[in-house]
Amino acid sequence: MIYHNSGEIDKLNVIIASTSTVYGGQYLAYLIDDLSGHFKDIDELIFIPYARPSGMTYDAYTAVAARFFEKLNIAVKGIHKIDNVQKAIEKAQAVFTGGGNTFLLVKKFYEKNLFPVLRQRILEGMPYLGTSAGSNITGQTMQTTNDMPIVKVPSYQTLGIFPFNINPHYLDPAPDLLKHMGETRDTRLKEYLHFNKVPVVALREGSYIQTIAGKWLLKGELSARIYFSLDNIKEVESGTDLKIYRDKFRILE
């Protein structure tokens, strides 16, 4: 594992969201107040469209992001239009990694050798936004994604910004699915913990984590569920500083 030290934690300037769009809403609209502050000194960001939701083109996906950020007077440059992607990340004012398929995203990151340089910039305090797959990669590994393995990845290891993994789009078992005999998300995450020790923060739709002044604040209207271990699963209310659970994440250190 590549868990960082406490000094690096205090520099993080990150928002990682379960989803880009909540039911009945517009793209990133529910995040706009926090994003306006998060990117307050930014006039251009690099967008990483490699996860390609529903197989859409890089250009089309970048255009979706660009339309939103026009509202904040921020220009968006798709990384797929840049020849030297590592140098671009080194010089970027901010980076946004969109959602889609995490396997596809991670494969591209390894092909472009982007994990080391993006990790370093984030730890230096560069503003970062991730949604869905773009949030998944801030954890220690991508092993708690919900996505199908449509491509083969060289490794499950990702950015390791946080000392836990992320499970976005977390769904509680629904009463009307009691006759459904397939596994629930809760069941899948418990299966993961049978073989892995890295805890998981499961974010429901509309929930997100924002780092502010060294805190890892859970935001949104809903609580989150933290899977520390098979015998320690905790509901955490919105507004909680997740860093208070740091001692329970120390298995990584």
**Could you list the active site residues?**
132, 147, 169
Distance CA 220, CA 56 (A): 28
Q: How far is CA 44 from CA 67, 91, 226, 234, in A?
A: 13, 11, 34, 39
For residue 2, what are its two tokens? Answer: 């590549």
- In a 3-state reduction of DSSP, which class is residue 98? coil
Give the tokens for residue 156.
């499950």
Q: Given strand 224-229, what is the order of strands in its sheet?
A: 165-170, 200-204, 224-229, 232-236
d(CA 66, CA 68): 5
**Backbone torsion region of residue 41, taken as left when φ is above 0, otherwise alpha when ψ lies between -120 and 50, otherwise beta:** alpha
Tokens 């494969």 belong to which residue? 107
> In residues, how long is the chain?
253
Q: What is the distance between the alpha carbons of residues 34 and 21, in angstroms, rounded to a whole number?
A: 15
| Distance (Å, whole) CA 49 – CA 62 | 6
